[in-house]
Structure 1
Amino acid sequence: MHLNMKIFHSLLAIVLLVSRCAGDDGKVITASHSATRDVQWTCPDPDAIFPCVCYDGDLDCSNVESEDQLAQIMGSSFPNPNFRSLTIDGNDNLRVLGAGDLGNTTYTWLDIATSALEEIEEGALSGSYATISKIFLRRNKLTSFPWEDMSLMTHLSYLNLFGNNISGFSNLSSDTLKFLDLSHNPLVTVEATAFSALPALMSISLANIGLTDVLPGTFVGLPNLCTVSIQGNYVAHLPEGTVQFPNCSFGFLDLSRNKISSVAVNAIHGFPHGGDIILWNNQLTVLEEIVWRPLLQSPAYLFLENNPLLCGCDIAWLVRNPILLGRIDTFAKCSSGELLVHLDPAIFDQC
């Protein structure tokens, strides 16, 4: 029964992350261009855009040889300058996407991946402020992004900057952004107010960014937030008011592969309809009732594999309650090697 619970919730979490956010390579998997599937798209004369190619409104400029060539192509007079998407994949020639380089073309989807791109200038996407909904800039060499432009993009819902060289950013502002991936960037620190002006935000990943501390309030006050990942960092303590999921049908919090040894009371708040809290591969030694009972009763499911739990009287409240114990990872072990689910409740009678 316990094993089935773990498998079910792990698979559910994976499905939610894939559908809401990003996979291991940071690429969002979703129905392609679903919001614009009924629009009739046209392509320009192939000779006018070579070496770019176009099919049904999807423009691929992966083979452009320079910034100047891209600007020259986009500056052409097209019968219809409105495209569904622009893709540049595996290009080692384009290092700067400058203001004006895209001419008067517009897009709903921008995908630049595994390229030498280092900079996107402020205003480079100005022609698409009213149309762009998804921006994927994965595994490039970006050191920054035109953050101030986000508030001007009135339909932006996805921003994926997975695997770049971004070391900092200002407080973000967008009324429409739902999914944000800043993972695998050398950010190290994140201000407590960084996301407070993102009221539509549902999912955020800060995995593998070198984070050492999470400031109180960082993931609080966001009415639609349901998924947070800060896995693969160096966080040792979760202070009060770290994460709040106020309205979720299913909350998902991934704290795995950190150095967490202590969690404050009310550090994690919410889970009104349940969810998963992943704490694999941390340094927890005790499970304080005042911290974890409210969450397990919500009911959240707690995954604790590879933590050096001492299994003293601090877990008597848990082991003696089969319902709450049933919401614990079945592979969670005491530092002595015994599985929590196999502990005899009678040994805690003297606690």
Structure 2
Amino acid sequence: MCHLRGLLALALVLGICVVQNQGGSLRRTGQLRHRTASDEGVVVCSICPDAVLIEPCTCICHNATSADIRCGPELTSCEELTDILNVATPVSQYLRLVVQKTSLQCMLTNDIWGPTTFQEILLVENQFSIVDNHAFAHFNKSMKLLDLHKNRLQDVCFSTFNNQPHVEIINLNDNKINFIPGLGNMEVKELREIHLRGNSLKTIMENTYQLMPKLQVIDYSHNMISTIDPGAFAFNTRFNDNRLTINLTNNLIEKFRHDAISGIQNVTLNLKNNKIQDLSEFYEVLQDTNFKAKIFLNGNPIICDAQLCWIVQNKTIMSHFDDFECTDSALTLYSLSPDYLGCSM
């Protein structure tokens, strides 16, 4: 083992790339570029560009055919990023571009990127505030994930996502977004998750998601939403029967309209920690979803009185709700009885 370590050290000094065989012997593979450690020995990565040419960014290999380009706080300008992304690379596509915790605040436009493409774009914890209409058009044949969380985004041209036929996850958490267009402005047919937690949204407009038939997660938690338009979660078609989870926790919603949802049955509505008192609309929500909806209401100012009789008198209907707490007592939904509520039979 000591002999192997000595040979490895000598190889690194000489700039020779080596791999440890399963039998423990060493073989020379050529010029050393980038290496990653693995349990089986030294993994050769020849797909990264010259390390000096992409400084202060780095290339991190996952295996012989997959690598990331990562840039951190040392990156000082978008021009520098553009220069780095225009460096000649051994391959035309990498797994991931990560730009994190920088002071960059330029407008995100399609001119920033070089010829290289990525499957995942993570521009997180920066100072970006504006996303141009064609900001990510260069990646329309490759991008599956776009993560822009913890920036200062206010002006996002959401139609830019129409250019992304393969994107599956969009993360816009913890920005300053106060408007998302409705009326089918976005057509993203492969999108499975959209995350909008911690923004400044107040309204969900009609038909915002009608052209996103594969959605499984919509996260609006920790906004300032008080209005949900009819048809806000209307779908023209669903390409599968996967459950859709709509997270509306920690907003200012006083009433959830039953006609906000259409075209879907398997849906979970998480409405915890809002201002809902009247539950009458939820009977029609259950009817419209063929009694497949799950509804979470804990943390709302719900008075447990005769208005809940239609729930408490039917254990099947009750099973579609969480065991929310009553604000007028220490009781929870599942502990209530028709007699306690004074329900007429």
* Superposition TM-score, scaled by structure 1 size: 0.72
Q: What is residue 180 of structure 1 aligned with on the other side?
A: 194
Contact 1:334 1:340 in 2 (8 A): no
Q: What is residue 171 of structure 2 aligned with on the other side?
A: 160
Q: What is residue 71 of structure 2 aligned with on the other side?
A: 61
Tell me by how many angstroms 1:208 deviates: 2.2
Q: Which of 184, 207, 226 is 1:212 aligned to? A: 226
1:49 aligns with 2:61: no
Q: 1:67 to 1:237 in 2, by over 3 A?
A: same
Q: Give secondary structure in 2 for the equivalent of 1:87.
A: strand
Query: 1:116-162, CA deviations, whole angstroms, 9 ceiling, x for partnerless residues?
Result: 12223333322211000000111111113342221221211111100
Distance 1:174 1:331 in 2: 35
The AA in structure 1 aligned to 2:326 is K
Tell me by how many angstroms 1:64 deviates: 1.3
- Residue correspondence of structure 1 range 93-132 to structure 2 within 5 A: 93-132=104-143
Distance 2:276 2:191 in 1: 30
Tell me by how many angstroms 1:234 deviates: 1.1
Relative to total residues, which structure has the larger strand share, 1 or 2? 2
- Residue correspondence of structure 1 range 298-337 to structure 2 within 5 A: 307-309=302-304, 311-312=305-306, 314-321=307-314, 324-325=317-318, 329-330=322-323, 332-333=325-326, 335-337=328-330
Contact 2:232 2:261 in 1 (8 A): yes
1:231 aligns with 2:241: no
Q: Give secondary structure in 1 for the equivalent of 2:103.
A: coil
Q: 1:214 to 1:115 in 2, by over 3 A?
A: same
Greater relative contact order, per chain length (Cα 8 Å cut-off, separation 6+): 1
Tell me by how many angstroms 1:70 deviates: 0.9
Contact 1:105 1:127 in 2 (8 A): no
Q: Give secondary structure in 1 for the equivalent of 2:227.
A: coil
Query: 1:230-261, CA deviations, whole angstroms, 9 ceiling, x for partnerless residues?
Result: 1111111122312247353xx32101111112
Contact 2:85 2:116 in 1 (8 A): yes
Contact 1:91 1:116 in 2 (8 A): yes
Q: Give secondary structure in 2 for the equivalent of 1:83.
A: strand
Q: What is residue 97 of structure 2 aligned with on the other side?
A: 86
Distance 1:323 1:174 in 2: 36
- Residue correspondence of structure 1 range 199-348 to structure 2 within 5 A: 199-221=213-235, 223=238, 226-244=244-262, 246-248=264-266, 251-262=267-278, 263-264=280-281, 265-269=283-287, 271-272=289-290, 274=292, 276-283=294-301, 307-309=302-304, 311-312=305-306, 314-321=307-314, 324-325=317-318, 329-330=322-323, 332-333=325-326, 335-343=328-336, 345-346=338-339, 348=342
Q: What is residue 297 of structure 1 aligned with on the other side?
A: none
Q: 1:51 to 1:81 in 2, by over 3 A?
A: farther
The AA in structure 2 aligned to 1:176 is E
Q: What is residue 34 of structure 2 aligned with on the other side?
A: none
Contact 1:46 1:54 in 2 (8 A): yes
RMSD: 2.7
Q: Which residues of structure 1 form unaligned runs of 5+?
A: 1-39, 284-306
Contact 1:208 1:231 in 2 (8 A): yes
Q: May I ask how many residue pairs the two structures share in their alignment?
A: 285
Q: Give secondary structure in 1 for the equivalent of 2:52.
A: helix
Distance 1:109 1:335 in 2: 49
- Percent identity among equivalent residues? 21
Distance 1:112 1:322 in 2: 48
1:191 aligns with 2:196: no
Contact 2:132 2:160 in 1 (8 A): no
Distance 2:332 2:269 in 1: 23
Q: Give secondary structure in 1 for the equivalent of 2:53.
A: helix
Contact 2:296 2:321 in 1 (8 A): no
Q: 1:112 to 1:268 in 2, by over 3 A?
A: farther
Q: 1:204 to 1:273 in 2, by over 3 A?
A: same
Tell me by how many angstroms 1:173 deviates: 1.6
Distance 1:195 1:274 in 2: 20
Look at both structures and tell me which one has the larger radius of gyration over its CA atoms: 2
